[in-house]
Amino acid sequence: MSDDRAFTYNGGAVPPGDTQNIRYGISETYLGDPVRIPVTIVNGERDGPTAFLTAAAHGDELNGIEVVREVAHEWDLSELAGTLVCLPVLNVPGFLAQQRYLPVYDRDLNRSFPGKPESTSSKRMAYQIYENFIAPCDFGLDFHTSTRGRTNMLHVRADMTDEAVYRLAMAFGSKVVIDSDGPSGTLRGEATDDGIPTITIEMGEAHRFQRPLIDDALDGVRSVFAEYGLLETDAVRWPGWRTIVAGAGEKTWLRADSGGIVDTHFESGSLVREGERIATITNPFKEDAVAVEAPFTGLLIGLLENPVVYPGNPLCHLVEIGESTRRAIEAGDAPSPVGQPTPSE
């Protein structure tokens, strides 16, 4: 940042009190045409932190796009204290093709940060994004969904051993926080390592807008802005109950031991008890039923959407919860089972 608080990037500057919508070139196509990402920079008249909001690092993950767009273009930011850097579509080539990875050798943009200016195409793109729009920031929110064929309960992933990240994750106010380091090359992991606390928000499934999840995430953004003083009128939220999941023993992906057609008996976000049947796998004749049971009492934060599996395919992501959290959920804050089989089945 310069002394006059202008937000500067390679090729431009946004002075205090100004908002700019730009299409920033990060690469070129096979035809030599520019690959440009949309960026909205809102620089408030009052001093404050600089925050980034990013979405669609995987091109088919759409829920976060609407979160970032609504903050940038529908919220009243006239009293903003600080600067917002809003990047609703990081992976433009993947977004145009409606696929997860860059269509250039199927590389994962979210394993390419902070990038290198003289490396692979994905790392060159990541470098342009990171150096111009991430490195100048004080903290960030990175929005994702589950991959195709699965869905996620809204939850945060954050390195809770980092004090600054802990503050950010708690401010967002999700019910579930997965405590983990950001994998190498991810925007979350690399930014945090550079002293820019960043959290990932997982929400729903690919290829669609899911309004309840978008609204929940917007409430989380408002809460973060309140915590860091970007907007004075909003309050930091309390989600009613919260569980922080740390350690490999407290979470597991349950996988299919046989191929077939899956009937799931719970929704994402449901409480399931040890021994309860989460899903049933059968063949096309509805024979040879295989029950998939919960190995411990926990919360389903991720769930299969595509009802066909090979052996080894993931069925659900189950996280362990404490007794007080279980009681809070049982008091009426969890989704109801769907099609739960009777004991005779």
Q: What is the pLDDT along the chain (345 residues), one digit of tens a residue?
A: 445 789 999 999 999 999 999 999 999 999 999 999 999 999 999 999 999 999 999 999 999 999 999 999 999 999 999 999 999 999 999 999 999 999 988 899 999 999 999 999 999 999 999 999 999 999 999 999 999 889 999 999 999 999 999 999 999 999 999 999 999 999 999 999 999 999 999 999 999 999 999 999 999 999 999 999 999 877 899 998 899 998 766 789 999 999 999 999 999 999 999 999 999 999 999 999 999 999 999 999 999 999 999 999 999 999 998 888 888 888 865 443 433 332 333
Has residue 281 been placed in a domain? yes
CATH code at position 306? 2.40.50.100
* 43 and 184, same domain (yes or no): yes
CATH code at position 156? 3.40.630.10
Q: How buried is residue 11: exposed, middle or buried, by Cβ count under 10 Å (0-12/13-18/19+)? A: exposed
Beta strands in 17-98 (DSSP E): 18-28, 34-43, 46-55, 81-87
Q: How buried is residue 230: exposed, middle or buried, by Cβ count under 10 Å (0-12/13-18/19+)? A: buried
* 156 and 225, same domain (yes or no): yes
Distance of CA 118 to the CA centre of its chain: 29
* 23 and 163, same domain (yes or no): yes
The structure's pTM equals: 0.91
* 285 and 237, same domain (yes or no): no
Range of the domain at 326: 251-330
Confidence (pLDDT) at 338:
39
Confidence (pLDDT) at 332:
65
* 269 and 298, same domain (yes or no): yes
* 101 and 206, same domain (yes or no): yes
Find, among 162, 167, 160, 329, the residue nearest to 239 by Cα: 329
* 234 and 129, same domain (yes or no): yes
> How many whole angstroms separate alpha carbon 170 and alpha carbon 174?
8
Has residue 265 been placed in a domain? yes
Domain stops at, among 218, 243, 268: 243
* 201 and 287, same domain (yes or no): no
Q: How many domains does the chain have?
A: 2
